[in-house]
Amino acid sequence: MSGDHCVVVGGGHAAAQMVASLRQEGWSGAITLVSDEPILPYHRPPLSKGFLCGDKSRDELLIRSEAFYVQNRVETVLGVRVASLDRGRKRVELDDGTSLSWDKLVLATGARARKLDVPGASLPGVYCLRTVGDVGGIRQSIGAGKRVVMIGGGYIGLEAAASLRTAGMQVTVLEAMPRLLQRVTAPEVSAFYARVHAEEGVEIVTQAVVAGIEGVKAVQAVRLRDGRTIPADAVIIGVGVVPVTELAEAAGLRVDDGILVDEFGTTSDRDIFAVGDCSNHHNPIYGRRLRLESVQNATDQARTAALALCGKGLPYRALPWFWSDQYELKLQIAGLCTGYDQVVLRGSASEGRSFSAFYFREGRLIAADCINRAKEFMVTKRFLAEGRSADMARIADESIDIKDCF
Same fold for the pair 5-112+241-309 and 126-237? yes
Residues 387 and 285: their CA atoms lie apart, in Å, by: 8
> What are the strands of the beta sheet with 74-78, ordered from one edge?
74-78, 30-35, 5-9, 104-107, 272-274
| CATH number of the domain located at residue range(s) 328-405 in this protein | 3.30.390.30
Please work out, in degrees rounded to the nearest 5, the angle formed at the alpha carbon of residue 112 by the alpha carbons of 242 and 187. 55
Helix H or strand E segment including 111: strand 111-113
pLDDT category, 275, cuts 50, 70, 90?
very high
176-188 pLDDT, tens digit per residue, is 999 999 999 999 9
In tens, the pLDDT along 118-161 reads 999 999 999 999 999 899 889 888 888 899 999 999 999 999 99
Q: What are phi and psi of 292, to 5 degrees?
A: -105, 145
pLDDT digits (tens, 9 = 90+) for 323-372: 999 999 999 999 999 999 999 999 999 999 999 999 999 999 999 999 99
User: Any idea where the domains of the chain sit in the sequence?
Assistant: 5-112+241-309, 126-237, 328-405
> Does position 268 have pLDDT exceeding 90, yes or no?
yes
Considering the domain 126-237 in this protein, what is its CATH number?
A: 3.50.50.60
**Residue percentage of the chain with pLDDT more than 70:** 100
Q: Are 136 and 37 in contact (CB under 8 A)?
A: no
Q: Is the pLDDT of residue 232 over 60?
A: yes
Reported confidence tier of residue 3, pLDDT bands at 50, 70, 90: confident
Whether 52 contacts 28, CB under 8 Å: no
Class of domain 5-112+241-309: alpha beta
pLDDT at 64 over 80: yes
Amino acid at 358: F
